[in-house]
Amino acid sequence: MYVYKLMHRILHLSLKLLPLMHKAIIVFKICYDSNAKKGERMKIIINIQEDMNENEIHLCVRELNEEVVAIQKIIQQNLSSYNEMVVYQEDVEYYIPLKQILFFETSGREIMLHTKSELFVVKKKLYELEEILPDYFERISKSCVVNVLSIYSMNKKVVSNGLIEFNGTHKQVYVSRMYYKSLKLKLERKRRSYE
């Protein structure tokens, strides 16, 4: 159980750190030795290699056993959770790819997820979403988090808030004055690094 908790914490932390490392790539090498003492059971090496095209996770093990398979499942579950989100429409559960999400907004006591053509309920708070979403999502007001990659235009002429429009849909949101400057900087940075 110790190994699973440690693995989960390290994976969660490293996935949060990845956006801070700009274009650096992290390679995990998790070496498991079943004969080692408890507390020394796993050696974790993070190797940044900027010349790689994609992230890799390597598990170096002496033998394939239940514990190693469990670690593999934890990694797969955590990585896939960063690619899609579980959302709801009435009693039906859907899995929406993160890239299709335009924005999240508070509506009463619920958090709504907007795609180009649909609206879903998310069973998380906005601050919880900010913690788990990739860094191309940005808070733009107290009640809204937007996918920066989906923004088509920003119009600052509208009163004190900026109007955000999305490509291929009529949906719009407003960025508050307090968040406008950080969103503009993130837009410029993300357009260069994600496209």
* CATH for 84-194 (2.60.120.10, 3.40.50.720, 2.40.50.1020, 3.40.30.10): 2.40.50.1020
Q: Which two tokens stand for residue 100?
A: 């299709």
Query: What confidence category does residue 193 fall into, taking pLDDT thresholds of 50, 70 and 90?
Result: low
Tell me the mean pLDDT in the region 109-126.
95
**Structure confidence at residue 47 (pLDDT):** 76
Query: What confidence category does residue 185 fall into, taking pLDDT thresholds of 50, 70 and 90?
Result: confident
Q: What is the pLDDT of residues 47-67, one digit of tens each?
A: 777 787 777 777 788 888 887
User: What is the residue whose two structure tokens read 């999400």?
Assistant: 101
Q: What is the pLDDT of residues 127-171, one digit of tens each?
A: 989 888 887 899 999 999 999 989 998 887 655 678 999 989 999
Task: Please tell me which residue, 165 or 23, carries the higher pLDDT value.
Answer: 165
What lies within 8 Å, CB to CB, of 162 at 6+ separation is 154, 155, 156, 174, 175, 180, 183
Task: Please tell me which residue, 18 or 115, carries the higher pLDDT value.
Answer: 115
Residues in the chain: 195
Please state, rounded to an integer, the average pLDDT across all residues of the chain.
Answer: 77
With a cut of 60, say whether residue 77 has pLDDT above it: no
Answering whether pTM is above 0.75, one says no
Per-domain boundaries in the chain: 2-81, 84-194
Helical residues (DSSP H) of the chain, grouped into ranges: 2-17, 66-81, 126-132, 177-194
**Structure confidence at residue 172 (pLDDT):** 93
